[in-house]
Chain A
Amino acid sequence: MPAPSGVVNAIYSTVIRRNFGFLGVIFLGAFATEIAFETTANSIWNSINRGRQWRDIKHRYMEQDE
C-alpha cells in the first residue's frame, strides 16, 4: 500500500495507527457530529416555528414574576 501523503499521512501515523487513537477519533467524531447535527437541526426547527413555541413567548410571563 502506498504511504498516504502530507497531512493525511501525519494524522494517520500519529493518531489513527494506534488502536487507542483510532477509538478516540471514533468517539470524539461521534460526539462532535451529534452536537453539530442537533444544533443545526434544532435551530432550523426553531426558525420554522418562530413565535409558536413556549420558548418564544415565555418572556411575556416570566417578566411578571421578577
Chain B
Amino acid sequence: MPVVSLEYVFEMSSLRATRALGAAKSGATRTAQRNASSQSSSESAGSWKDTALLGSSTAFAIGSVSWYYYQFGRPAYAMTPQEEGLHPPKYPWEHEKLYKTFDHGTLRRGFQVYREVCSSCHSLSRIPYRTLVGNMMTVDEAKGLAEENEYDTEPNDEGEIEKRPGKLSDYIPNPYKNDEAARAANNGALPPDLSLMVKARHGGCNYIFSLLTGYPEEPPAGAVVASGLNFNPYFPGTGIAMSRVLYDGLVDYEDGTPATTSQMAKDAVEFLNWSAEPEMDDRKRMGWKVMAVGGVLFALSIWIKRYKWVNVKTRRLLYDPPTTGPNRPDNVTVGSAFRK
C-alpha cells in the first residue's frame, strides 16, 4: 500500500488504520517505517484524547446527576429528629397476623385498664355498651356497667329532661362535660378520644405501646422539658402533657394475669385496636372465605375459557390440492398461480 494513503487511512478508522499499519510495516520501506512510527504515535495521542473525552463526559454525567439528587432528590425533613419523635420498634402483635383474631381475654383485660385508668381523662365516645356483649362481656355484665351511669331522657310531657340509668344502647360516657373542661383539668392539654386512636397515629399499636411504656425515670441530660410536660421520647416533640399512668400492679386482673406495666399497656393497646377496628375478626374470616370461593371460581373460569377455545386453538387450516382433473397443480400451465 502506498505510503501517501496511509495518513488518510489513519484518519478514517482505527480498525482500518491498524490493518494499514500492518501493511506499512510489512512494506518495510524506510519512509513507510518512519511514517508508520510517526502515525502510531499520533494514534496513541488520539486514543488519549478519546479516553480523556470519555472520562470527562462520564464524570460530568455522574456529577450532574448527583448534583441534581443533592439539590432535589433527598428526602426533606420538615422536623428535627426531636420534633419527629423516636420511631417505635415493631412488636410481633399476634392479632395483627392475617389469620388471627383479637385475643378476647386480652380485650377484656384491656377494657378493664381503660375503665380503671384511662377513662378518668380519655373518652371512648364511639363505643356503645352493646358492642362489648359477645366480645368481652356477658349481657348481664354489660347491662350492669351501663346502669352505673345516668343519661338524659327524652323530654317528658312537661318538656323536662330527666335522668335514667344507662342501657346497652348507650355510649360510654365522657369523663368531662366538654373539651374546655377537659383542657382546664389537664393543664390546657386535651386528652384525645381513644376510640380511633390506633388508626389515628403513625405506628398504631407499636406507637401507643411505646408511648405508654416509654417514660424514663428521668429525662436525659440536656433535654428541655417545659413545665407541666413530661419527657417521652416517642411523643413528637418529646414533651407530653400526659404523665406516666401505668405502674406495676395498678389494676387487679380477675384472671390472675400479673399486672405488669407492659402487660397492662399491651392489653390496653389491643383493646384500643379493637375499638378502632371492631370488625377485624369478621373481616379477616370473610376475607379468607372470599379468597377460597374466588380461587375456585377463578380456576373454573380458566377451565371454561380453555374448554371454549380448544376448537379454535387446535384448528389447523390445510390446503388439499385436487389430485385429478384439469385443476391439478401439475396440469395447470401458463398464468396459473400453481405453475410448476
Contacts and interface: CB of A to CB of B under 8 A. Distances in A.
Contacts of A60: 255
A1 B285 CA distance: 45
A8 interface: no
Interface string B87-129: 0000000000001111111001000000000000000000000
Main secondary structure of the interface of A (DSSP, over half): helix
Contacts of A52: 100-105
A62 interface: yes
Contacts of B100: 48-49, 52
Interface stretch (B8-16, B174-182, B288-296, B318-326): B288-296
Interface stretch (B135-143, B147-155, B216-224): B135-143
A45 B99 CA distance: 8
A65 B134 contact: no
A49 B101 contact: yes
Contacts of B289: 37-38, 41
Given A61-B137, A61-B141, A53 B288 contact: no
Given A49-B101, A54-B134, A65 B288 contact: no
B103 A65 contact: no
Contacts, number: 42
B170 interface: no
B135 A54 contact: yes
Contacts of A10: none
Given A45-B285, A45-B288, A60-B255, A53 B101 contact: yes
B84 interface: no
Contact of B281 (A53, A57, A65): A53
B293 A37 contact: yes
B138 A65 contact: yes
A58 interface: yes
A61 B105 CA distance: 11
B138 A57 contact: no
Nearest to B296: A37
B192 to A, nearest CB: 28
Contacts of A53: 101, 104, 281
A42 B282 CA distance: 11
Contact of A57 (B99, B104, B285, B288): B104
A60 B104 CA distance: 12
Contacts of A41: 285, 288-289, 292
> Which of A45, A48, A54 is most buried by chain B, counting CB atoms within 10 A of its CB?
A54
A48 B103 CA distance: 12
A14 to B, nearest CB: 27
B293 to A, nearest CB: 7
Interface in A40-56: 41-42, 45, 48-49, 51-54, 56
A61 to B, nearest CB: 5
Nearest to A38: B289
A58 B134 CA distance: 8
B155 to A, nearest CB: 36
B105 A57 contact: yes
A35 to B, nearest CB: 13
Q: Which 8 A-B pairs have the closest CB atoms?
A: A54-B104, A52-B103, A49-B101, A45-B285, A52-B101, A61-B138, A57-B105, A41-B289
26 contacts: A37-B289, A37-B292, A37-B293, A38-B289, A41-B288, A45-B288, A48-B99, A49-B99, A49-B100, A49-B101, A52-B102, A52-B103, A52-B104, A53-B101, A53-B104, A54-B104, A54-B134, A54-B135, A54-B136, A56-B104, A57-B104, A57-B105, A57-B108, A61-B137, A65-B138, A65-B140
Given A37-B292, A52-B100, 5 more contacts: A54-B136, A56-B104, A57-B108, A62-B138, A65-B140
